[in-house]
Each structure stands twice: as C-alpha cells, then as structure tokens.
Amino acid sequence: MDTLSSPRVADVLTALFDDAVTADQSMAQKSDDVLIDDDMMSWAIAEERRDYKAFYQSYPGNYWCIAPEFGRLLYVLARACGARRIVEFGTSFGVSTIHLASALRDAGGGGKVITTEIVPEKSARARQNLAAAGLDDLVEFRVGDALETLQDGFDGPVDLLLLDGAFSLYHPVLRLVEPYLRPGSLVLGENALETAGPFLDYVRDPANGYAGLTLPFEPSRGNHLAVRTG
Ligand SMILES: C[S@@+](CC[C@H](N)C(=O)[O-])C[C@H]1O[C@@H](n2cnc3c(N)ncnc32)[C@H](O)[C@@H]1O
C-alpha cells in the first residue's frame, strides 16, 4: 500500500480537508460582500498585491489548500520524476506537504521537502500535522518570507518546485530556486493566473528553458505544469 492511502495519512488528510471547508468560509465574510470564484480570486490578488505580508498575516486561520485531486497529482509527479529534493512555496497547514512527503517516503531512502511559510502559527500547525501523519522526518520547515528563507539555497539539485504562496511572488521565487533546478525537474504553479504577475509569460517563453501547459483541472483553475528543459 502506498503511504498516501495508508490509514494514518488518509485519516489526517480527511480531517484537514474537512476542517478547511469551515475555516475558509471566513475569508468571504471578511471582504465587503460575499464573493465567490472569479470575484474572490480577483479580490485576493488585488489585496495581496497591495501588501502581501499584511494580507497573509491577517488570515492565520485559513487553509487555502490544494484540492484532493491536485494532491494526488503532486504525489504521482513526485514519484514519476524520482524526486529527492522538493521545494514548496506556501506551507499553510501542510496539506500539500503531506502529499509530497508521502511520495518521498515511498521512493525510499530519505529525501527532503523544504517548505516555507510566512505566518509562524501556520508553520507550527503544519509541523503538528506532518508529525500526526508520521512524515515530519522528511520535511524542513523554513519560517518567514520566501524571498528571504530561500535565499540560503539548498544542499543539492531540486527535482520539483511547487509555487503556492503569494501569487505576485511566483516569478521572483522561481528565479531564486532556478539555479538549483535540474534538467527534467518539474515546476508547478498553483492558480497561476494571467493577472497575478509575470510568472506565466516567463515559463511560456521557451528561451527561458521551460516547456509546459496549464492543466484543465477542476475545481481549482490555472494550475500550470512545466518541465525544466535546459
Ligand atoms: C494557498 S496557501 C498554501 C496552501 C498549501 N500549499 C496547501 O496546499 O496546504 C498560501 C500560503 O502561502 C503563504 N505565503 C504567502 N506569501 C508568502 C511568502 N512571501 N513567503 C512564505 N509564505 C507565504 C500564506 O501565508 C499561505 O499560508
């Protein structure tokens, strides 16, 4: 049985996905009106562009986690590319991290997910969740702004990068990690929307060393998958 399907991990994920539904209702209530779907996304992009630190620090209880299907995709991709070193921008409560660490566990022989979160309370909760899933030995938690926490780099090549933090920082974070991306490594931009910054234009230009596509994925939109070609 794979780690993702094991009762210990599956139970933790079920509880987290359930809790996320309740926790994330609060975001709509904080805005002036109740916003859904496209309106909600546009509102969040505009708010975080004003001041991403203040924006995320004012929502310490929100998950905004990946959908279960996207989690399974992360597991499959990490297994398929033989990932040993994975970098994640945007830990939140660790839902995506659990999927990525499960892939490392099943690949055998260690490996590391290096994940970074700007809100310390969220990183602490993620640590507890990874421990509950029995996967914390495979994760390095970096607390703070990714533009600073990822400056120190990594002790070897990166096989997979998941961008799931402030939308406007996808491009600068990619550029920070880029020197470590090995040829054939994967870059996933969760909700990488046209309006969110220069990330899409950058990865769509073959001259920059990526080939990819936006995944036709519901319910979350704009998930971009690219392979490092150079
Ligand atoms: C969409 S959520 C991540 C969800 C997570 N990947 C999951 O599936 O459970 C985005 C997270 O990125 C964090 N974040 C936003 N900007 C950041 C930054 N500059 N550095 C580190 N973390 C950041 C937010 O606090 C938030 O918890």
Which CATH number is 119's domain given?
Answer: 3.40.50.150
C-alpha to C-alpha distance for 153 and 70, rounded to whole angstroms: 26
* Within-domain flag for 47: no
Q: Is 118 in the pocket of ligand 1 (CB under 6 A)?
A: yes
User: Domain for residue 49, yes or no?
Assistant: no
Q: What is the mean pLDDT of residues 103-132?
A: 97
| Ligand 1 and 96: CB distance under 6 A | yes
User: What pLDDT is attached to residue 43?
Assistant: 83
Q: Which amino acid residue places its CA nearest to atom 14 of ligand 1?
A: 165
> Does residue 208 form part of some domain?
yes
Pair 89, 169: CB distance under 8 Å:
yes
Classify residue 104: in a domain, yes or no.
Answer: yes
pLDDT at residue 33 greater than cutoff 60: no
Biggest alpha carbon–alpha carbon distance for the chain: 50
- At 36, the pLDDT band (50, 70, 90 cuts) reads low
Domain count, the chain: 1
Using one digit for the tens of pLDDT, what is the confidence trace for 164-211?
Answer: 999 999 999 999 999 999 999 999 999 898 777 899 999 999 999 999
Which range among 50-54, 191-195, 199-203, 212-216 shows the weakest confidence by mean pLDDT?
A: 191-195
Domain of 184?
3-14+63-228
pTM of the complete model = 0.95
Separation between Cα atoms, residue 94 and residue 65, nearest integer Å:
8
**141 inside domain:** yes
